[in-house]
Amino acid sequence: MSKAFDNKSRGLDLLVETSHPRTSEILQLLSDSQLYYHKKDKRLFIITHYVTGKVAKDLQGNEQVIKKKRDFKKVTLNNKMRGQINRIQAELGLNADNPQQREAAVRDLLKDITPGTVATLKTRFLIEESKNVREMINIALAINDLKSSDDVLLSNAIEQLDGSLEQESRSALVAFVSTAQSPLLKKQAQIALKGIEDKVQYYGWLETLYFGLSLGSVLVLAGIGLAITFGVMGVINMAHGELIMIGAYTTYVIQLLMPDHIEWSILVAIPAAFVVSGLVGIAIERGVIRFLYGRPLETLLATFGISLILQQAVRSLFSPLNRSVETPDWMSGLIQINPVFSLTLSRLYIILFCLVVFVALLLVLKKTALGLQVRAVSQNRAMARSMGIRSNRVDALTFGLGSGVAGIAGVALSQLTNVGPNMGQAYIIDSFMVVVFGGVGNLWGTLVAGLSLGVANKVLEPWAGAVLAKVLMLIFIILFIQKRPRGLFPQRGRAAEG
């Protein structure tokens, strides 16, 4: 086993020439520093844990216990060889059955295009059937052609790279502009770069919009429960954030109970969080709030005290330390639209979840007997009682519904942040802002207000910073309610009178 890196490099080339079926596996072992050789007989071994007593396995699958670590020596690489391995792996990937893998292999080759790589790409282009892979090969060849001295070849290369969002394409054009001798070619490259930069800026705005919608969805989920308790019932519930926290802790407990089924635990946690937070909400309403209707200051102070009690109860039960909730695999990852724009799945699921919860709540309030009774009691309690509606029962169920929705918001938030006793405090102010801005008691107003505030916040953040952006939004809402005290979508008719 040679110690000279040049000999090892030639050995890699010879390995590729053999077209051995395990070539890719051996290259990966070298890249992961898991390939060793025995000092006495020079046999190659795979060692994942280089510790005395662990097992070493040779390339034929025979196992041998590591009695002395000094009996084995790692096959070392230098930076040049690592680059060579990466290039070889990418070239091998060109023959993969999956078009996405072939496209990724070409994209890897963009980082280091050599004459050998160009020849390989040209050969592959002749037999390639996938349109995306052929386009990527054209980009790689165009980047290489920018090194040419032929003006026609250079012009064609610039035309090919025009509109390409690959980072290597932009870098190649920038380098060409700085060294170009021909004014016409330089101007052509500058126009191509300007077009690419405009597209990058466009997708940057789309990304900001996407982040804003995901933040807005969180605000809607946090505020929509309050839209019921505060908007419909008129109760200033300062413990709303703690009901969100209870939903998040319910998610954490469900994962503890289902350690082998993390993929499904989040689906079990949604109804569980709704029930647990809803029952806590009903207990709060029956035990405290029902004695304080019509006394907003006392209600505010009482619910603030309840929020402190709930926080301390959680600290005593789970400790003051934050807990992390594992995200299922199907919620991880992203959808790559192009090289500069991708949609993270977790944010996408939050947006969809927000819309599902909103529609479900809207149907409950518009299409069920409970919803009809809630609207009747909120508009005219005395008339509703005279019609035989048990207003006390409706109050408890309404508060439980709002609290349950807050618990569902906690499930969503547990996927975005750590679960802790103080997590609800971060959302209580935002929840009130969303409800007041949208119009008290109007669910559509809550949806529009939450999404609008989320997008506006993300638009302001790049130049104002996260903290100042929130301050500016708060100032805007204060000024807005001076002009329109009832919010964007005020209730009208009997609902407003009630």
Dist CA 93 CA 61 (whole Å): 25
Dist CA 106 CA 87 (whole Å): 10
What does the pLDDT read at residue 354?
A: 92
What pTM value is reported for the model?
Answer: 0.78
Which residue segments constitute the domains of the chain, with CATH numbers given? Answer: 110-181 (no CATH), 203-497 (1.10.3470)
What does the pLDDT read at residue 492?
A: 60
For residue 334, the SS3 value is strand
Dist CA 353 CA 217 (whole Å): 8
The DSSP 8-state label assigned to residue 76 in this structure reads -
The DSSP 8-state label assigned to residue 448 in this structure reads H
Helices (H), 65-182: 79-93, 99-109, 115-127, 131-145, 151-161, 167-179
What does the pLDDT read at residue 498?
A: 47
498 residues of the chain, pLDDT tens digit each: 556 777 777 777 777 677 677 777 777 777 777 788 787 777 888 887 777 777 787 777 778 878 777 778 888 888 777 777 777 777 777 777 888 888 888 887 787 787 777 888 888 888 888 888 899 999 989 998 888 888 899 999 999 999 888 888 999 999 999 888 888 999 999 999 999 999 999 999 999 999 999 999 989 988 888 888 876 677 888 999 999 999 999 999 999 998 888 888 999 999 999 999 999 999 999 999 988 887 888 989 999 999 999 999 999 998 888 888 888 888 888 898 888 899 999 899 999 999 999 999 999 888 888 888 887 877 777 788 888 888 788 888 888 999 999 999 999 989 888 899 988 888 888 888 888 888 877 888 899 999 999 999 999 888 888 788 888 888 988 898 888 888 777 766 544 444
What does the pLDDT read at residue 12?
A: 75
- Characterise 53 by phi-psi region: left (phi > 0), alpha (psi -120 to 50), beta (else): left
8 Å CB contact between 403 and 280: yes
Dist CA 373 CA 370 (whole Å): 5
CA torsion angle for 220, 222, 224, 226 (degrees, to 10)? -140
User: Measured between alpha carbons, how far is residue 203 from residues 280, 338, 339 in Å?
Assistant: 44, 9, 10
Dist CA 168 CA 429 (whole Å): 45
